[in-house]
Structure 1
């Protein structure tokens, strides 16, 4: 599952971190990548709240840190990390700081490399950031997913065109703006996997200006590693 939660503010605007948690619990995915987690001016630390709500394994990625709070993304996994996740700076020039988190996750179906990110607003920025993402996905032996908000709506120099050869599997849902979705900004890209099913959830319209993307995936390569036990939640194969 990947979802830009737009600061966890609903469109009224009403602080609705509880709504974010409820919608994630509704689908109970194995992997959750969240973008635009924002504690600035709210008096609440959503990174801590989300970690407490889901326990298990999580990493908060704060790309903007201020005295009034932080802004960034989060990766949450039902399954344990093979090694501590890595956070990479993929910022471009003087544009907004951007990060990518890379984690190898020992799931029920084997080891997956997960790369979660939130790309920039300009074509040149996204082009450079996509090159960096491909270098982070260098391990060919594992199934891999690149997930997040790619801010990608042009075919010329598009992220999806750049990733097509290496990550041929992808979702195609219109996710923005949530009330009248026109753009496919939020995606799941896959290598050595098959996307069995993917969908969005219109209930998210009351919470964010993006719809989440939920995907069921299976590996297409045999797995050699026996994963450790998961948390007490019933494991699913949703991502």
Structure 2
């Protein structure tokens, strides 16, 4: 049984993060022709503010291993942060020596990270963890104004004879910015991805008002995971989910199952819950 440890010294086993995957059966791997993905905003590996701020990156690492995903789309990932590193270096299990993407990658996974924002104490961005071979990495700046630095991480994935173009996205906090970022995403895909290639875009879209779907549909992307009444899984805030900010949009793939794990263990890790989905080619 493998374990990770928190910055506060508390020990969690990976059995605390049972695989609550779309199959609904603990520990069951995805079928051979189904691609299991997770999209997760990790809140830079920490929770809380002030004296109550705590390091959760170690527990998040245990969670990543337990989910047994083929691809993990991560947002708000730190490459480094000098102030937090100094603060948590004094704790029992401190700030990782690696970037957070590398630290979170389970054994056998490749971690790919690109920075979106550079701050006084460090930098953060998007990451993809993949257990499948990857191609040439692309990074496209979609920042709409100087107060929010945003980017798209584009990674071709070679999965069972298919080249799937995976994009990690994290859109802005202003609706008008999100509309322009959606349009730039569509233009980028039109320029960089072959017309018949499957596309998988996942991340935190910050679309509180549920108004982005028509723009992305016009770009050829369909929102995955809606039920028969058009309702989406809720992922934010993690303690009492009310909004569907974390999403998956696809072309050439369809959703065959999804889950959002809940409970105190997951609520403590981040202000978002992970969205787990299984997909298969159309």
2:272, 2:110 → 1: CA distance? 25
Q: 1:215 to 1:109 in 2, by over 3 A?
A: farther
CA pair 197-61 structure 1, distance change in 2 beyond 3 A:
same
Q: Judge which range, 13-22 or 131-140, deviates more.
A: 131-140
Write the distance in 2 (CA, Å) between the matches of 1:22 and 1:56: 14
Q: Per-residue CA shift, 1:2-55, capped at 9, x if unaligned?
A: 100111113453101111111111111111111112342221357635325435
Runs of 4+ in 1 over 6 A off after TM superposition: none
Q: CA offset at residue 185 of structure 1?
A: 0.4
Measure the CA separation in 2 of the matches of 1:215 and 1:134. 22
The aligned residue for residue 102 of structure 2 is 51
In the alignment, the residues of structure 2 paired with residue 77 and residue 125 of structure 1 have an alpha-carbon distance, to the nearest angstrom, of 29
Deviates further, 2-11 or 120-129: 2-11
Higher mean alpha-carbon deviation, 22-31 vs 158-167, is at 158-167
- 2:166 matched residue in structure 1: 114
- CA deviation vs aligned residue, 1:68-95 (integer Å, no higher than 9, x gap): 22222211111111x3210000000223
Counting only pairs closer than 5 Å after superposition, residues 217-228 of structure 1 correspond to structure 2 as 217-220=279-282
Distance 1:46 1:37 in 2: 14
How large is the RMSD of aligned CA atoms in angstroms? 1.9
Number of aligned residue pairs: give it.
217
Note if 1:185 corresponds to 2:245: yes
Aligned 1:99-110 pairs, distance under 5 A: 99-108=151-160, 110=162
1:8 to 35, 39, 45: 45
Give, in angstroms, the shift of residue 218 of structure 1: 0.5
Give the Cα–Cα distance (whole angstroms) in 1 for the partners of residues 214 and 122 of structure 2: 36
Structure 1 CA distance, aligned partners of 2:255 and 2:40?
A: 17
For the 8 Å contact 2:101–2:112, the answer to whether it is kept is no
Which stretch has the larger CA shift, 8-17 or 197-206? 8-17
Q: Which residue of the other structure, out of 213, 218, 222, is the alignment partner of 1:160? A: 213
Distance in 2 (CA, whole Å) between partners of 1:109 and 1:16 is 37
* 3-state SS, counterpart of residue 19 of structure 1: helix
1:169-201 CA distance string (max 9 Å, x none): 423211111111001100011111110001111
DSSP-derived class of the 1:135 partner: helix
Length-normalised TM-score, structure 2: 0.72
Question: Which residue of 1 is the match for residue 5 of structure 2?
Answer: none
- 2:179 counterpart of 1:146: no
Matched, 1:62 2:115: yes
> Contact 1:109 / 1:219 at 8 angstroms: preserved in 2?
no
The question of 1:199 aligning with 2:259 is answered yes
Structure 1 residue runs of 5 or longer lacking an equivalent are 221-239
In the superposition, the TM-score normalised over structure 1's length comes to: 0.84
Change (3 A) 1:121 1:95: same
Q: Which runs of 5+ in 2 are unaligned?
A: 1-37, 86-94, 226-231
Change (3 A) 1:131 1:148: same
The structure with the larger Rg is: 2
